[in-house]
Amino acid sequence: MKKAWKCCSVLMLTAMILMMMVGCGGTAVHFENGDFKFCSRTLGLYIEDLTAEGQQKRVLIVPGELDGVPIEGLQNRNLLWGGGTWHSEKLEKLYLPWNMNADAELLDGCHNLHSVFVLSYDPDESSLHYIHRDGLFFYVNQYLFEEIYSGKIFGRPANVSYYYNDGRTENYGCYWIDNVPYGSVLDVLPPEDPVSEGKTFAGWYKEPECINAWDFETDTTPEEKLDEDGNVIYQETALYAKWV
Residue 92: inside a domain: yes
Per-residue pLDDT of the chain (244 residues; tens, 9 = 90+): 555 555 555 454 444 444 444 444 457 899 999 999 999 988 889 898 999 999 999 999 999 899 999 998 887 765 444 446 888 999 999 998 766 766 657 888 898 999 988 877 665 554 455 556 677 888 888 887 887 766 665 678 999 999 999 999 888 999 999 999 999 999 999 999 999 999 999 999 999 999 999 999 999 999 999 999 999 999 999 999 999 9
Which neighbouring-strand residues pair with 176? 162
Last residue of a domain, one of 124, 157, 190: 157
Q: 192 and 137 in one domain? A: no
> Rounded distance, CA 93 to CA 52, Å?
17
DSSP 106-155: TTTB-TT--EEEE----TTSPPP-----TT-EEEE-HHHIIIIITT-TTE
> Rounded distance, CA 200 to CA 198, Å?
7
Q: How much is the pLDDT for 153?
A: 57
Q: 127 and 167 in one domain? A: no
Q: 127 and 71 in one domain? A: yes
Last residue of a domain, one of 126, 157, 188: 157
Residue 46: inside a domain: no
How many H helices and E strands in the chain? 2, 15
Q: How much is the pLDDT for 26?
A: 56
Q: 163 and 74 in one domain? A: no
Element (H, E) at 22: helix 2-23
Residue 116: inside a domain: yes
Mapping DSSP to helix (H, G, I), strand (E, B) and coil, where does residue 178 land?
A: strand
Residue 23: inside a domain: no
Whether the CB-CB separation of 216 and 189 falls below 8 Å is answered with yes
* 28: Cα within 13 Å, side-chain hemisphere: 23
Residue 2: inside a domain: no
Q: 237 and 204 in one domain? A: yes
Residue 197: inside a domain: yes
The dihedral over CA atoms of 132, 138, 143, 144, expressed in degrees to the nearest 10, equals -60
Residue 32: inside a domain: no
Q: How much is the pLDDT for 73?
A: 83
**Number of domains present in the structure of the chain:** 2
Q: 104 and 130 in one domain? A: yes
Residue 7: inside a domain: no
- Identify the domain containing residue 75 by its residue range: 58-157
3-state percent helix, strand, coil for the chain, nearest multiple of 5:
15, 30, 55
Q: How much is the pLDDT for 145?
A: 82
Q: 196 and 174 in one domain? A: yes
Q: How much is the pLDDT for 104?
A: 59
Q: How much is the pLDDT for 25?
A: 47
